Structure 1
Amino acid sequence: MLIRDAVAGDWPRIWPFWHRIVAAGETYTWDPDTPQETARALWTGPAKRVYVAEDPAGAVVGSAYLTPNYGGPAADIANAGFMVDPDRGGHGIGRALAEHVLAEAATHGYRAMVFNAVVETNPAVALWTSLGFTILGTVPHAFAHPRHGRVGLHIMYKALD
């Protein structure tokens, strides 16, 4: 698998799984009805470094972004987002993207990474904790999950230095 910087032409290959994941309403706090151009701005905004994972045939099977979580004196704390094509889950793509983005964050001078709203029922919580993230706290009943009802949103943290 190749992980590389995304180029403008990658968005049409990211959008189908981005839309599918967000429309499912289980892991992201974005509106499930987010239109494509709004989604593109959310995922590829100017402050974001965007990456894609390609399988050996060149298909984009995952994407991630890296961005400052805060500004000013706290701009060295990163935030990131990750999506793997649901049809390609369970093959280590998410872990590979996460390891790549964590290394990129350190290379770009970030001291730590914060996730502001990890749905507590998201299977990726196990991935983040295995990579050294800790749960700083949970906002109870903050997310209306379509199958589990009201669930919490974790705030997760990992030092990079």
Structure 2
Amino acid sequence: MLIREATAGDWPRIWPFWHRIVAAAETYAWDPDTSEEDARALWMGPAKCVYVAEDDTGAVVGSAYVTPNYGGPAARVANAGFMVDPDRSGLGIGRALAEHVLRAATAAGYRAMVFNAVVETNPAVGLWTSLGFRILGTVPEAYEHPRHGPVGLHIMYRAL
């Protein structure tokens, strides 16, 4: 698998799984009805360093970004987002993207990474904890999950 910086031309290959994941409303606190234009701005914004994972056929099977979580004197704390094509889950793509982004964030001079709103039922919570993230707190019943009803949102942290 190749992980590389995304180009503007990668968006049409990211959008199908981005839309599928956000529309499912199970893991991201973004509006399930987000338009493609707004989705592109959210994912590919100018403050973000975006990556794609390609399989050996050249298909984009996942994407991630890293960006400052805060501004000004706190700009050395990163935030990141990750999406893997649901048809490719369980193949280690998410872990590979996460390890890549953690290395990139460290190389860019970030001191820590924070996830602001991790849905507590998201299977990725196990991945994040295995990579050294810890749950700083949980906002109870902050997320209306389509299958589980109201669930918490974790705030997760890891020093870099």
Query: What TM-score bracket applies, with the shorter chain setting the length?
Result: over 0.9
Q: 2:9 — aligned with what?
A: 9
Q: Which residue of 1 aligns with 2:89?
A: 89
Task: Kindly state the Cα deviation for residue 3 of structure 1 after the two structures are TM-superposed.
Answer: 0.1
Residue 107 (structure 1) shift: 0.2
1:52 Cα deviation (Å)?
Answer: 0.1
Q: In the TM superposition, what whole-angstrom CA distance separates every residue of 1:36-72 from its partner, at most 9, and x where no partner exists?
A: 0000000011100000000000000000000000000
SS at match of 2:129: helix
What pairs with 1:1-161 in structure 2 (closer than 5 Å)? 1-160=1-160
Counterpart-to-counterpart distance in 1, 2:72 and 2:38: 26
Displacement of 1:96: 0.0
Query: For 2:77 and 2:35, how far apart are their aligned partners in 1?
Result: 29
Note the alpha carbon deviations across 1:18-38, whole angstroms, 9 max, x for none.
Answer: 000000000001000000000
- Ranges of 4+ aligned residues in structure 1 off by more than 4 Å: none
Distance 2:132 2:37 in 1: 34
Q: Deviations over 1:100-152 (max 9, x none)?
A: 00000000000000000000000000000000000000000000000000000
The answer for unaligned runs of 5 or more in structure 1 is: none
Q: In 1, Cα distance between the equivalents of 2:44 and 2:110?
A: 19
Matched residue SS, 2:15? helix
User: Structure 2: 5+ residue runs without aligned partners?
Assistant: none
Cα distance in 2 for residues equivalent to 1:30 and 1:8? 22
